[in-house]
Structure 1
């Protein structure tokens, strides 16, 4: 089946790899510490899903993510549930986000994570027709709830399987993510995992 027309939660692969993904919707305090934690721990591959309202407000930070070499996907424009809107509204949102992200970073996104992870088959089919693969997640760090660094680490590193997509955040609401990251990275590496982008996972899936 064409991965553009189904939501991707994880990828069945024999390779011991995981995709770290970060949603950013607002704020300028958390992204830099997250980027620095990834860089300091020599993680060269991760995927950031950027809200275009955030990109409009902080284009320099968006470009910094690109400069670090990380993959950029779309997190839409307004943070509203797509299933509650018609196709014309969704198409407009996606196109505005696409244009904004491309203008700031030079990247034409092919991956999208819907706001709140909200979707149904109609939304997935529409996004596929617009040229996007809809990316969900299979492991949720719950970092946006700020449950404590240890809990974020445990949520992110317990029972991990090959091809997982881990949901993290680099919005200012996720105040504990940057502190948890070095421990998450070390624990996953100790389990034998390497880090790949979501696009790399999708290519593994198609083989």
Structure 2
């Protein structure tokens, strides 16, 4: 006896539509995940100094190694203009102030590691630097931030050995392209003018949120609206990385 197979055309059409959409989404997510790490690898470690110059996105970053007085006022300024930022904090500071670290994350900002103990790497041998990186990573994991993968060295000192050490720990090293030296407190206008006169597509701005900075909060009041008027998108470092499709310049 011959069997009859009856096809539901409506269901078939839905199925035909769903397959290519699912494949497209999967491919897009794959590209997004792989593009996160195109600028550096274990075979060829590098530090990110700039994002993609074809994209009008920039990243504001803050270093924190001591004190608690400036964090919340700076967060308040960022919140006023719904601005995302990335905060690099030392492991030691994170352990001492987990409540402030949690507040940074709750307000949708990104965190990265600033080593464990904020001391200049140029005076340390490579084994001590490796130990510092490991200790920082362990500190963040114990605090519940196991997925933290962004890393910045204290004072920004870098060499090939440090880059390799960070890469082997699964970390991506982030430098900067604009540094107004706000920690020196040169004046609100000087901080603002330096950033605005140097900002370009893909810029990474270095600022600080430790107690030593006295003018950064006010500089943000003037700086952030001007950046938005220039039609730049303020993003986190991870968002900036997704737009990177060119190899970074070799470390000099």
TM-score, normalising length from structure 2? 0.77
Deviations 1:96-124 (A, max 9, x none): 11122233353432111100001111111
Q: How far apart are the structure 1 equivalents of 2:119 and 2:69?
A: 23
1:127 aligns with 2:169: no
1:184 aligns with 2:223: yes
Could you say which residue in structure 2 is the equivalent of 1:156? Answer: 195
C-alpha contact 2:39 2:244 (8 A) present in aligned 1: no
Structure 2 unaligned spans of 5+: 1-37, 247-252
Count of residue pairs the alignment pairs up: 206
Q: How far apart are the structure 2 equivalents of 1:30 and 1:159?
A: 25
Structure 1 unaligned spans of 5+: none
Deviations 1:73-132 (A, max 9, x none): 000111223343333322221121112223335343211110000111111122111111
Q: 1:25-174 to 2 correspondence within 5 Å? A: 25-43=65-83, 45-174=84-213
* 1:2/1:151 CA distance change after superposition, 3 Å: closer
Could you say which residue in structure 2 is the equivalent of 1:6? Answer: 46
Q: How far apart are the structure 2 equivalents of 1:148 and 1:105?
A: 38
Higher Cα Rg: structure 1 or 2? 2
Q: How far apart are the structure 2 equivalents of 1:103 and 1:159?
A: 39
Deviations 1:126-172 (A, max 9, x none): 21111111111000121100011111111111131100000000000
Q: 1:10 is paired with a residue of what secondary structure? A: coil
* 1:41/1:2 CA distance change after superposition, 3 Å: closer
Which residue, out of 185, 201, 205, partners 2:240? Answer: 201
